[in-house]
Structure 1
Amino acid sequence: MRADAQRNIDSLLEAAKTVFGTSGVDAPAKEIADLAGVGVGTLYRHFPQRSDLVKAVFQREVDACADAAPALTAAHQPGAALAKWLHRYTEFLATKRGLAAALHSGDPAFDALPGYFMQRLGPALGSLLEAATASGEIRADTSSKDLLYAVANLCLPMADEGVAYSQRMVALLIDGLRYGADTSGTSARSNSTV
């Protein structure tokens, strides 16, 4: 793919993420194209159906969240890396709010997305969770699936509350993960399923 075509796609995906977050997935194509700095024809050339664009935005955000795990692992202690990733995941969920209506619409174009979500985010979180458990920083009875769903439930939209509220709720969850941790630094993961 030519560099200018890839730039257009990247601009369209970023613009769509922003517009979906503020105006919903049914926002006019022109609003997305204008924000991306391209024509509507360019939008439709790369994403012929609205569902193509929604799917691409969702997958891009899932990939970015999953890809953050190794970088956080390299830069931070295991417990801090896990906490930072969970906050990054919370930001992803805030972005997904604009996509939620489409993703739960029953459109068969979106049928594979829940599997994609778990396939990418489950292992990313699992590696962080395993390292934090092995270091004794968090309790050993939590699975990545449980944690993904727990954070998602904490991030359900509430009237008059935004991402900052969700971040505070996730911080409380992280504190709860520390309760009962093996402070000796040698944790057995006998009760955990990652």
Structure 2
Amino acid sequence: MSRSLRADAQANYNRLLEVAAQVFAREGADTSMKAIAAEAGVGIATLYRRFPTREDLIEATYRSRTDLLCDSASKLLGDLAPVDALRTWMERFVDYMLTKQGMADALPAILATRDGLRLHSREALTGAVTGLLAAGTSSGDFRADVSPSDVLMALGGITLISGHEHQRELATRLISLLLDGLVAHAGAAPPD
């Protein structure tokens, strides 16, 4: 958003994005705008004043979820050891992807037509993983040869598989396997 909102208007805006993320994850992007407004506790006019089209709401929800996820990486590192911070962030990534899957039908067209949205997301996610890996490498917890891109690709695969199987707990088990591969083991030779 380009201009500052009053505190109550900002609270409504944030609430709409939070509820939209939950509803899109649960019911998909075609859900009723009126239902989103009602669940957020605002009038439909308030929703349309902030998001004139469904695409505007989907874009804002996607951007907001991406930013919240990426911003959480540094906060996690402030509270947790690098391995625990990365594990928690990966779990949040899976939940983020489940929300994104709820918008799957509409999101490709939005990503293709909204300048910079795809690049913004890619750079933000890569930056978050880079920071988490760097902290773990610096502490000696993670191998030094790990690429942030590889971690994101693996996480994408985990999300795809567990989402297809409708088994959220499968994602947690696969995250543990991925983390085991990232952890530096004393005396282990680096892979070829």
C-alpha RMSD of the superposition: 2.1
User: Which digits, 9 at most, give the CA deviation of each residue in 1:17-48, with x for residues without a partner?
Assistant: 11111111111111101101111111111000
In 2, Cα distance between equivalents of 1:84 and 1:129: 13
Tell me the SS of whatever aligns to 1:104.
helix
Unaligned runs of 5+ in 2: none
Length-normalised TM-score, structure 1: 0.86
The 1:164–1:110 alpha-carbon spacing in structure 2 relative to 1, beyond 3 Å, is farther
Q: Does structure 2 retain, via aligned residues, the 8 Å contact 1:11–1:36?
A: yes
Q: Deviations over 1:79-115 (max 9, x none)?
A: 2222221222122112211122211246643453221
Aligned residues: 183
Once the two structures are aligned, what percentage of the paired residues are identical?
39
The residue number in structure 1 matching 2:174 is 169
The whole-number CA distance in structure 1 between the counterparts of 2:28 and 2:114 is 16
Equivalent of 2:55, from 47, 51, 66?
51
1:62-73 paired onto structure 2 within 5 Å: 62-73=66-77
Q: What are the residue-to-residue correspondences of 1:117-156 with 2, within 5 Å?
A: 117-156=121-160
For structure 1, list consecutive stretches of 5 or more residues without a partner in the other structure: 185-190
CA shift for structure 1 position 146:
1.5
One-letter code aligned to 1:142: V
For 1:88 and 1:23, locate their aligned partners in 2 and report how far apart those are by CA, in whole Å.
Answer: 20
The 1:177–1:8 alpha-carbon spacing in structure 2 relative to 1, beyond 3 Å, is same
CA shift for structure 1 position 10: 1.1
Aligned letter for 2:164? M
Q: Which residue does 1:187 correspond to in 2?
A: none
SS in structure 2 at match of 1:10: helix
TM-score by length of 2: 0.87
SS at match of 1:121: helix
Render the CA deviation track for 1:151-185: whole Å, top value 9, x for unaligned: 011101213x232222221121111212xx2538x
After superposition, the C-alpha distances for 1:57-76 in whole angstroms (9 at most, x for unaligned) are: 11111111111111111111
Tell me if structure 2 keeps the 8 A contact 1:61–1:92: yes
Deviation at 1:145, TM superposition (A): 1.5
Alpha-carbon distance in 2 for matches of 1:150, 1:107 = 22
User: Partner of 1:37 in structure 2?
Assistant: 41
